[in-house]
Amino acid sequence: MRQPLIAGNWKMNKTVAEGEALARAIQEGLQTQMVEVVLCPPFIAIPAVHAVIQGSSIRLGAQNLHWEDAGAFTGEISPVMLKEWCQYVIIGHSERRQHFHEDDEMVRRKVAAALRHGLTPILCVGETLAQREAGETGAVVATQTRRALEGLSPEQAARLVIAYEPVWAIGTGRAATGEDAEEVIRRWIRGTLEAIFGVEVAQRVRVLYGGSVTPENIAEFVCRPTIDGALVGGASLKAESFLGIIHETARVKA
Ligand code: PEP
């Protein structure tokens, strides 16, 4: 029903030439159509990566956007600019929330702007270690999800991808357990979607896990029916490990 999805967040890595080479290696090594593959390079590499993957099943995503269409916002990129190249856009990544002070209201505006222009948001939600230790995981994840989706119609909400990314698991080599991720996604992400938009929307939205995913641990997550794939950081920077994650997902979901 829901197509598995593996998205690679390159963050602030790779020159344009390096990005082209990585995209080419991923395209050449890809052996499945079952999993949707999304590459999210830095803005500057988007046109070059677009040229490399043109005609293939690989999709392109941005790592951020501004909510306005155009204007005096030095250094920002608008959805109007992105939609020429991308199908997806990561919104509310914890690095943006932490280092660039993005709050739930900014995330909400970005989600609405992306949808208005036909881009699919990959909305990131997740708790910090302190919040987890204080027993606040459910409340944090549910609140981030609810605030990001305020004002959306059920049809718009159904188009979303949500990534559950516990902040303590990102880039640390310390992934959540599959059991834990499944519980948070089922109760606090799909549960929140169901409470707001109904059961059909809650079942249509694709939900990913993110945080130190590798070819060795991906099966632990995607073997669970409620987890549709992964948002991958570090392991998306090498074709071999990224392809390993994609192919393992195809094997497990088959
Ligand atoms: C991420 O940046 O979204 C991420 C999950 O990173 P990593 O896979 O490196 O933990």
Which whole-number Å values give the CA distances from 207 to 6, 18, 19, in the listed order?
11, 29, 26
- pTM value is 0.98
Do residues 62 and 82 lie in contact, with contact meaning Cβ atoms separated by under 8 Å? yes
Query: Atom 2 of ligand 1 has which residue's CA nearest to it?
Result: 233
Query: Atom 7 of ligand 1 has which residue's CA nearest to it?
Result: 233
Token pair 């600019």: residue = 81
Query: Atom 8 of ligand 1 has which residue's CA nearest to it?
Result: 233
pLDDT (0 to 100) of residue 54: 96
> Ligand 1 centroid vs 219 CA: distance in angstroms?
16
* Distance of alpha carbon 236 from alpha carbon 119, whole angstroms: 22
pLDDT (0 to 100) of residue 30: 98
Buried b (16+ CB within 10 A) or exposed e, 54-78: eeeebbbbbbbbbbeeeeeeeeebb
Query: 93 an active-site residue?
Result: yes
Choice among 165, 182, 220, 248 that is catalytic: 165
Is any atom of ligand 1 closer than 6 Å to the C-beta of 233? yes
Which tokens belong to 224?
Answer: 């669970």
State the distance between the two ends of the chain, measured CA to CA, in whole angstroms.
Answer: 12
Choice among 20, 66, 93, 247 that is catalytic: 93
> Ligand 1 centroid vs 71 CA: distance in angstroms?
32
pLDDT (0 to 100) of residue 50: 98
Q: Is the dihedral of CA 200, 82, 210, 110 positive or negative?
A: negative
pLDDT tens string for the chain (254 positions)? 899 999 999 999 999 999 999 999 999 999 999 999 999 999 999 999 999 999 999 999 999 999 999 999 999 999 999 999 999 999 999 999 999 999 999 999 999 999 999 999 999 999 999 999 999 999 999 999 999 999 999 999 999 999 999 999 999 999 999 999 999 999 999 999 999 999 999 999 999 999 999 999 999 999 999 999 999 999 999 999 999 999 999 999 99
> Ligand 1 centroid vs 20 CA: distance in angstroms?
21
Residues 6+ apart with CB under 8 A from 100: none
Torsion-angle region of 192 (φ positive above 0: left; ψ -120 to 50: alpha; else: beta): alpha
Distance of alpha carbon 87 from the chain centroid: 12
Is any atom of ligand 1 closer than 6 Å to the C-beta of 7? no
Per DSSP, what are the bridge partners of residue 40?
9
Q: Is the dihedral of CA 185, 202, 32, 7 positive or negative?
A: negative
pLDDT (0 to 100) of residue 220: 98
Is any atom of ligand 1 closer than 6 Å to the C-beta of 126? no
pLDDT (0 to 100) of residue 26: 98
